[in-house]
Structure 1
Amino acid sequence: MSASILGMSAPRARVSRSALERNIARAAHAEPDAPIDLRRDACGHGGRIVAEVARAVGVTAAVVDEPSLAAEYGLGSSRSVPLPLASVFGLEGRGRPVLTVTTPVLQTKPLQAGDGVSYGYLHRAESDTRAALIAGGYAQGVPRAVGGAASVWILGADRPIIGRVAMDVCVIDVGDLEVQPGDEAVLFGAPAPHLLGQWARATGWSEIELVAMPGLSAEREVAE
């Protein structure tokens, strides 16, 4: 894969302000004195935006990596048990997903029955199909264990990740979908919240671990 293709784009982490506001308000209503947890840049969701929304719904304190950060975020520093991360970020079926990680299709190519994919050719096509190379690999927080065990969402359908996840890219089987370079694949989040459960089962990791890794690595944007 050429450097020019890899340089085209990379995964992006989109934070939904409206989902975050709704989730924090609901969690704070259940536990009104609990602080917001902003450690590790709010688990990859962005400490500033999470602090801003938390203040707006009446949260007054935060658990932070460094005490000085609390004042920087406009909140008091606290060591109390924080609001549950799953509730705040819409994980494990609790509320709306806050973080959606998307990535562009870089290339597509036909696969003939028997063709091997990625390192070691651990995956071989069972029949003629089409594959798409998408940006994002283990260097961007995509766990290697999802290769051959989980999916992404593209053009309204779940499509399996095939072969080994590489450092900066991975491959999906797109079948007869009319996928083109530049199309957007959703790794997890809206509109495919079920994918994170697939990734958790494939890796044995928690959903918050899975969202934190690409959230900390990808370019982040805020949407309503």
Structure 2
Amino acid sequence: MNQPPPLRARAEIDLAALRANVRALRARAPRAALMAVVKSDAYGHGMLPCARAALQAGATWLGTATPHEALALRAAGIQERVLCWLWTPGDRWGEGIEADLDMSVSGLWALTEATAAARRAGRAARIQLKADTGLGRNGCQPADWPELVTAALAAEAEGTVKVTGLWSHFACADEPGHPSITAQLELFREMVAYAEKEGIEPEVRHIANSPATLTVPEAHFDLVRTGIAMYGISPSPELGTPADFGLRPVMTLAASVALVKHVPAGHGVSYGHHYVTQAETTLGLIPLGYADGIPRHASGRGPVLVGGEWRRVAGRVAMDQFVVDLGGQKIQEGSEALLFGPGLRGEPTAEDWAEAAGTIAYEIVTRIGTRVPRVYLNEDSDE
């Protein structure tokens, strides 16, 4: 049998690690259900394989941002509850109703569109009312909450909607002790209490994202929404490392060294010659660039493990490739270059790349492009 050719680059996705992370997060919130957030192609890890693995490990809800993502889960045969929260006017409300999605509503315009679509479909829309308790993005302002609750109750009486949830989102749960955490939690309780007093009977109340799941147990309510932590990345270095929370990074990004060559001292490297060799040396070409999601802001700083040694990007990251100075080390073409992973082999982590690029590890994994194939490990359930 012919073996497949080696890959230029690959993102290895360890589904056993993902399942273990889901179990660890469930243990952190034992009285709450767990929603596995799989938006943005599961933070770059692959939505469908990760959704299935999370469900195998005990997640009972899935979360997406866009209707396109949520409907793709349904098209793949996934029937568990799916909350979708980023709707726009004229969006696919009717398809969402037909697919039994739970659809987030933050204002009267959205409720109007949901009810109109429900009338056309001849069935009730499942909706969740989102409260803006201080994040300032999506969600209903406290001053407008009574009007939205009243309108939702009227729609329930009409039979066009069923309010399945009340929810919100933290702004600073990744900053331990930030005063907004307590303030948002108190306001959420008040807004939930008002809605329930008026007659809303939600199945689930939820506000906890990954950092709150890990560190704010009083925020767990009926459901926790775990995104980045499910993929084995700490929501914030201030909160702790993945290992501190019993989590294992799921993605390893690797490439095959495409070229090794000797160059003299004073040789410029990559666009703009922002790196010039100090002495005679060897250069290694890594066939990944910003078109693959390698941040250009990490030029001159991004770490790579090659031949057992940490090397830094030499000069600018280009669209398809970047260079490392091997310092005279003899490396063969085709050798593995590890950009990031769990760190078990001494390789950098996504957090190391985030520091090099002045960003967060969320962005590092999410931006890895479709040109990099995902290779799934341990697809069979380990239970």
Q: What is the TM-score of this pair, normalised by structure 1?
A: 0.89
SS at structure 1 position matched to 2:255:
strand
1:88 maps to which of 223, 226, 230: 230
Cα pair 1:186 1:192 within 8 Å, conserved? no
Structure 1 residue identity aligned to 2:265: A
Residue 275 (structure 2) pairs with residue 123 (structure 1): yes
Matching of residues 179-218 of structure 1 within 5 Å: 179-190=331-342, 191-192=345-346, 194-214=348-368, 216-218=370-372
Q: Which residue of 2 aligns with 1:26?
A: 24
Q: CA deviation at 1:193?
A: 5.6
Task: Give the direction of change, closer, same or farther, for the CA distance of 1:73–1:157 in structure 2 (3 Å limit).
Answer: farther
Cα pair 2:302 2:356 within 8 Å, conserved? yes
Question: Residues 33-85 of structure 1, C-alpha deviation per residue, up to 9 Å, x if partnerless?
Answer: 13110111101111111111111111111112324344333321126555333
Cα pair 2:302 2:357 within 8 Å, conserved? no
Matching of residues 115-154 of structure 1 within 5 Å: 115-154=267-306
Counterparts of 1:177 and 1:162 in 2: how far apart (Å)?
Answer: 15
Cα pair 2:271 2:316 within 8 Å, conserved? yes
Task: Give the direction of change, closer, same or farther, for the CA distance of 1:33–1:215 in structure 2 (3 Å limit).
Answer: farther
Q: Which residue of 1 aligns with 2:53?
A: 53
1:178 maps to which of 323, 330, 340: 330
SS at structure 2 position matched to 1:23:
helix
Cα pair 1:43 1:215 within 8 Å, conserved? no
Runs of 4+ in 1 over 6 A off after TM superposition: none
Structure 2: gaps of 5 or more residues = 1-5, 85-205, 208-223, 235-240, 379-383
Matching of residues 31-46 of structure 1 within 5 Å: 31=29, 32-46=32-46
SS at structure 2 position matched to 1:131:
strand
Identity of aligned residues (%): 30
Question: Residues 158-179 of structure 1, C-alpha deviation per residue, up to 9 Å, x if partnerless?
Answer: 1111011111000011123321
Structure 2 residue identity aligned to 1:85: G
Counterparts of 2:53 and 2:39 in 1: how far apart (Å)?
Answer: 16
Stretch of structure 1 that moved more, 86-95 or 17-26: 86-95
Question: Residues 161-212 of structure 1, C-alpha deviation per residue, up to 9 Å, x if partnerless?
Answer: 1011111000011123321111111111133464423321222211011011
Matching of residues 2-13 of structure 1 within 5 Å: 9-13=7-11
Stretch of structure 1 that moved more, 176-185 or 100-109: 176-185
Q: Which residue of 2 aligns with 1:3?
A: none
Aligned length, in residue pairs: 217
Counterparts of 1:200 and 1:173 in 2: how far apart (Å)?
Answer: 21
Cα pair 1:138 1:165 within 8 Å, conserved? yes
SS at structure 2 position matched to 1:211:
helix
Counterparts of 1:106 and 1:150 in 2: how far apart (Å)?
Answer: 18
Task: Give the direction of change, closer, same or farther, for the CA distance of 1:152–1:167 in structure 2 (3 Å limit).
Answer: same
Counterparts of 1:74 and 1:174 in 2: how far apart (Å)?
Answer: 51
Counterparts of 1:217 and 1:24 in 2: how far apart (Å)?
Answer: 28
Structure 1 residue identity aligned to 2:81: G
Q: Which residue of 2 aligns with 1:68?
A: 71
More strand by share: 1
What is the aligned-residue RMSD (CA, Å)? 2.0
Cα pair 1:164 1:170 within 8 Å, conserved? yes
SS at structure 2 position matched to 1:51:
helix
Cα pair 1:28 1:83 within 8 Å, conserved? no
SS at structure 2 position matched to 1:182:
coil
Structure 1: gaps of 5 or more residues = 1-7
- Point out the structure with max Rg over C-alpha: 2
Stretch of structure 1 that moved more, 85-94 or 121-130: 85-94
Counterparts of 1:128 and 1:103 in 2: how far apart (Å)?
Answer: 25
Task: Give the direction of change, closer, same or farther, for the CA distance of 1:147–1:62 in structure 2 (3 Å limit).
Answer: same
Q: Which residue of 1 aligns with 2:83?
A: 78
Task: Give the direction of change, closer, same or farther, for the CA distance of 1:215–1:189 in structure 2 (3 Å limit).
Answer: farther
Counterparts of 1:186 and 1:73 in 2: how far apart (Å)?
Answer: 34
